Amino acid sequence: MAGYTLSQLETHIRNYTEVDSNVLTGAILAGFIENAEFRIFYDVPSDSNRFVSEGNLAVDDTGPGTWLIKKDQTYLSEYVDRLTGTEGGQPAQDVTGFPKYYAMFGGATAVSDTTSGGLYVAPTPDANYMFKIYYDMVPQSLVTKTSGTYISQYFPQGLLYATLVEAYGFLKGPMDILTLYENKYKQEIQKFAGVQIGRRRRDDYTDGTVRIPVKSPSP
C-alpha cells in the first residue's frame, strides 16, 4: 500500500465508509486521524519518535560522562533532605555536587507550557554540566503535515484501519465491519511492532535474525 497524504487518506476513509464530505467533514476526519495516530504512538514505540536534546544544568564539563540513576521524585526529595540536614529539625546545609539521580515529575498542561513538568536532579549541580536527554516525542500529525508523515508513509495500512475504527464508531456502523477493521489494525500493528522493536533495534550479525515461534499442530 502506497503512503498517504492527508487528502488521499480522507478520500479513502470516505470511500470505505461510503459517506461524503457533508457528513465526514475535514474537521471531523482530522479528529479521527489524530486519535488513530495517538493510538499507534501508544501501542508501539517507533524509532521515528526518538530524539535527543542537549543543554546545560547550570563552565561545561569536558570529563567523562555518566548515566544518572532514575528514581521517584519522593526518593530524591528524601535524599536531598538527608544531604542538607533538614530532617529531624537539623540546620540546613547547602550541599551540591555532581548529579547522581533524576526523576520525572509534573506534566505540561499545554503544548506551550514548559513550567509545570520536567526533570528533577540531585544533588544540586555544582557546575554547568552538559546533559543529554533521550526521549520519545509525540510526532507531528498528518493533519498539520499534510504532505505526509513517517506513519502515513511507512505504516499507511495501520493508520487507515485505526482511522476506520474511529469513523465506524462515529457513524454507528455495523458492528461486524467495525470488528473487521479493529482486527485488521491489530494484525498490522503486530507486524509494525516486529520491525520497530525487533528488526530495527537488532543487528542480525551480532544478535542473530529475529525468530518468530511457530506453534506445533495439536496432536
pLDDT digits 0-9 by tens, 64-103: 567 888 888 788 877 777 665 555 555 455 567 888 888 8
| C-alpha closest to that of 98 among 63, 134, 73 | 63
3-state secondary structure of 119: strand
Q: Which three cell numbers stand for residue 123?
A: 544533588
Place of cell 498490522: 188
pLDDT of residue 11: 97
Dist. CA 50–CA 177, nearest whole Å: 35
Strands 124-125 and 96-97: parallel
Predicted TM-score (pTM) of the model is 0.69
pLDDT digits 0-9 by tens, 6-29: 999 999 999 999 999 999 999 999
Q: What is the mean pLDDT of residues 161-167?
A: 97
User: Phi and psi for 70 in degrees, rounded to 5?
Assistant: -80, 130
pLDDT of residue 175: 93
